[in-house]
């Protein structure tokens, strides 16, 4: 420490580092969503590398430069004003979409909230609690006529301004069970709602997004990147949506449209549907099974899969704030991120899955299972032989 104080050059570097670091820190504290954790982690790692990789004086010079570029980078993340900006959100009957519609309306955006049931309780609550800027529109993302009618209503209001942002949020989970058990109709339904629906809506509204040089935000899932048992149909559809988003991000750059994909962690939503929905999916699953598969798995094991929905629900976060902040950043920042990972440990899991070899992940994950086992695997060996 004494050598730093006695060396004028080192002292000057240290003073510049403190000033630039303080400016960057001040900017960072005002930044929304995941920018805080992400930037602090990256800046810390880079700073340590600078200080350890060379002499102290040159380390401080490099670290000062990193603080300067960090300040410039954070400045590019400042939020644009909300005035005259119109947002379309799909799937706002409940859950994340419902929370997003209320939140963006409170911020001052003009919101078109599409719902599966315009006479349902979710639609009525939005009309009752939100400002006159919010409009509720009937739109099933699998219904091309309703999508076209929604475009007509939006275009009528925005006219030459175009649509600033489209948020594809509508989605379903399906019945969680092994891929072998899930009927092909369930796979198709997940793909229709979670993938083909957002594709159809995006294609319909892209001319309005290109007109405003706006934003496309697709709500995907951690399951799109992280292998999760029991959700093959859901995860496959979300993986397709993620790749669609990544390709469009490159294709739309020339038009000035920015594309982001959100991979939320576990949040409490109504994506699993009602008990009646579970009953219907469960019956169709049992009716679709061949006798040999039903014999091997056993009906008791299959019926126990319903408990997985309850496990997902108990583990989910009730507070949507991290997700809301990230979506706000994606639609309002000058330079939005390509990927957002709101929720506890979501960003960490993405890093782990990218760095840990598949064989190691599979070995660790094989121990993460549910209590029941298929009938054939739980039988004693002597019984199997007979």
234 is catalytic: yes
In whole angstroms, give the CA distance from residue 219 to residue 205. Answer: 16
Q: Which of 234, 297, 320, 340 is catalytic?
A: 234
DSSP string for residues in 50-107: HHHSS-HHHHHHHHHHHHHHHHHHHHTTPBPP-TT-EEEES--SSHHHHHHHHHHHHH
Q: How many helices (H) and strands (E) does the chain have?
A: 19, 7
Q: Which of 262, 320, 298 is nearest to 95 (CA)?
A: 320
User: Does an H or E element contain 113, and which?
Assistant: strand 110-115
In whole angstroms, give the CA distance from residue 179 to residue 305. Answer: 12
Cα Rg, the chain, nearest whole Å: 25
* CB distance 260 to 216 below 8 Å: yes
Q: Using CA of residue 102, residue 108, residue 114, residue 120, what is the dihedral sign?
A: positive
- Catalytic residue annotation: 234
């Amino acid at each position: 420490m004494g050598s730093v104080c006695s060396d004028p050059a080192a002292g000057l570097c240290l003073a510049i580092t403190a000033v630039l670091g303080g400016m960057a820190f001040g900017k960072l504290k005002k930044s929304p969503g995941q920018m805080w954790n992400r930037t602090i982690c990256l800046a810390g790692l880079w700073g340590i590398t600078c200080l350890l990789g060379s002499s102290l004086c040159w380390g401080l010079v490099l670290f000062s430069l990193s603080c300067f570029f960090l300040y410039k980078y954070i400045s590019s993340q400042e939020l644009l004003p909300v005035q005259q900006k119109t947002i379309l959100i799909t799937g706002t009957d409940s859950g994340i979409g419902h929370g997003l519609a209320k939140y963006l309306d409170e911020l001052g955006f003009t919101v078109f909230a599409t719902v599966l049931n315009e006479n349902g309780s979710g639609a009525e609550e939005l009309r009752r609690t939100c400002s006159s800027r919010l409009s509720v529109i009937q739109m099933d993302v699998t219904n091309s006529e309703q999508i076209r009618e929604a475009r007509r209503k939006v275009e009528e209001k925005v006219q030459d301004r175009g649509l600033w942002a489209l948020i594809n949020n509508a989605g379903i989970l399906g019945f969680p069970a092994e891929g072998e058990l899930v009927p092909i109709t369930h796979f198709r339904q997940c793909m229709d709602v979670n993938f083909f629906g957002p594709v159809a809506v995006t294609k319909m509204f892209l001319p309005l997004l290109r007109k405003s040089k706006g934003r496309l935000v697709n709500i995907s899932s951690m399951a799109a990147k992280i292998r999760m048992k029991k959700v093959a149909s859901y995860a496959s559809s979300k993986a397709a949506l993620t790749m669609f988003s990544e390709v469009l991000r490159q294709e739309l750059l020339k038009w000035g449209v920015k594309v982001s994909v959100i991979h939320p962690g576990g949040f409490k939503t109504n994506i699993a549907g009602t008990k009646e929905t579970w009953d219907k999916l469960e019956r169709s699953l049992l009716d679709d099974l061949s006798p040999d598969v039903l014999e091997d798995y056993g009906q008791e094991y299959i019926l126990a899969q319903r408990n997985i929905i309850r496990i997902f629900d108990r583990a989910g976060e009730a507070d949507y704030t991290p997700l809301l902040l990230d979506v706000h950043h994606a639609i309002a920042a000058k330079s939005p991120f390509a990927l957002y990972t709101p929720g506890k440990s979501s960003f960490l899991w993405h890093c782990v899955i990218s760095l840990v070899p598949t064989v190691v992940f599979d070995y660790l994950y094989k121990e993460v299972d549910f209590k029941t086992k298929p009938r054939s695997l739980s039988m004693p060996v002597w019984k199997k032989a007979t």
